[in-house]
Amino acid sequence: MLISAYKRNLPSQIREKSYSIIGSIQQTAFNFEESIGECIKNFYEAKELREENELLKIEIDKLLFEKENYFKEILSSYQRFEKLLEFKQKKAYHLLPVRVISYTPSIYFKVVFIDKGGKEGIKKGMAVVSPQGLVGKVIEEYSHQAKVLLIIDERSKVGIRVQRTRDIAILQGKGKEGVCELKYLLNTASVKVGDKVVASGLGNLFPEGILVGKISEVKRDSNRLFQEVKITPTVDFGKLEELFVIKKW
């Protein structure tokens, strides 16, 4: 009151100063609050972006996996089935499609198991083929499975004919080497590397004319009656998947 009595304009000056100070403080607080709010908003937006990026990365990884594994396998299967269908349409045999379900681990005895057996009409002795050529024959049958002896097994013997020269011989497997050899091919036979070998049909064990392999090595000795001939099968026995069993021919 005394101050107001002596200096009437002082209170208004104080009020103006205090309003100015309070206003500045309020503005600063408002700006700070707005900055904090913006930071929090940016933080949540960044978090959402990170989460979206993680989800997108997962989806991209899934697509890459499917491209490298699933889609390529589908394309590969489609191409294989296309060849199988083409092979089946060309042949006059009664072909039953089968799948390989297991291999034997032995390096000497080469057999596989297929997913069809006696209940599906599979019988012991039936020939097994692929679009590439002769695979082997059924040696044991079960209800819904069968055991197939491959032509590269040492116990396997197939009557063959050299396609170009018409010479006949016996094809025998060499087990772990993954190749075969010709037995009882006369030294006078004019066979050469690259000649194709087909099933002879003699003995009625395998259908005549099925491709077996190609001659990869020839050794002749004038002191011997028979020549040594190695055969590389046309079938890739490391990649057996879909096959055919010849039920009738």
Give the CATH number for residue 201: 2.40.10.350
Q: What is the pLDDT of residues 99-129, one digit of tens each?
A: 999 988 777 679 999 999 999 999 999 999 9
Q: What's the pTM value of the predicted model, to 2 decimals? A: 0.67
Residue 182 phi/psi, 5-degree rounding, is -95, 135
In a domain, 182, yes or no: yes
Separation CA 113–CA 228 (nearest Å): 32
The CA R_g of the chain, rounded to the nearest whole Å, is 41
**E-state strands within 34-192:** 94-103, 111-114, 127-130, 133-141, 146-150, 157-162, 168-173, 180-183
Residue 233, in any domain of the structure:
yes
DSSP assignment, residue 80? H
> Each residue of 177-235: pLDDT tens digit?
678 999 999 999 999 999 999 999 888 889 888 999 999 999 998 889 999 999 999 99
Instruction: Measure the CA–CA gap between 100 and 113, rounded to whole angstroms.
Output: 6
Q: Which residue has the tokens 């069968």?
A: 146
**Does 20 fall in a domain?**
no
Total number of domains in the chain: 1
Q: Whole domain around residue 178: which residue ranges?
A: 157-237
What is the 3-class SS of 26-55, one letter each residue? HHHHHHHHHHHHHHHHHHHHHHHHHHHHHH
Give just the sign of the alpha carbon dihedral 22, 23, 26, 31.
negative
pLDDT at 236: 92
On whether residue 52 sits in a domain, the answer given is no
pLDDT of residue 61: 59
172 within some domain? yes
Q: Is 83 inside any structural domain?
A: no
Q: What angle do CA 157, 168, 139 make, to 5 degrees?
A: 20
Asked whether residue 209 is assigned to any structural domain, the reply reads yes
Between the two ends of the chain, the Cα-to-Cα distance in Å is 129
Mean pLDDT score of the chain, rounded to an integer?
81
- Residue 247 binned pLDDT confidence (cut-offs 50, 70, 90): confident
Whether residue 183 is contained in a domain is answered as yes
CB 196 within 8 A of CB 163: yes
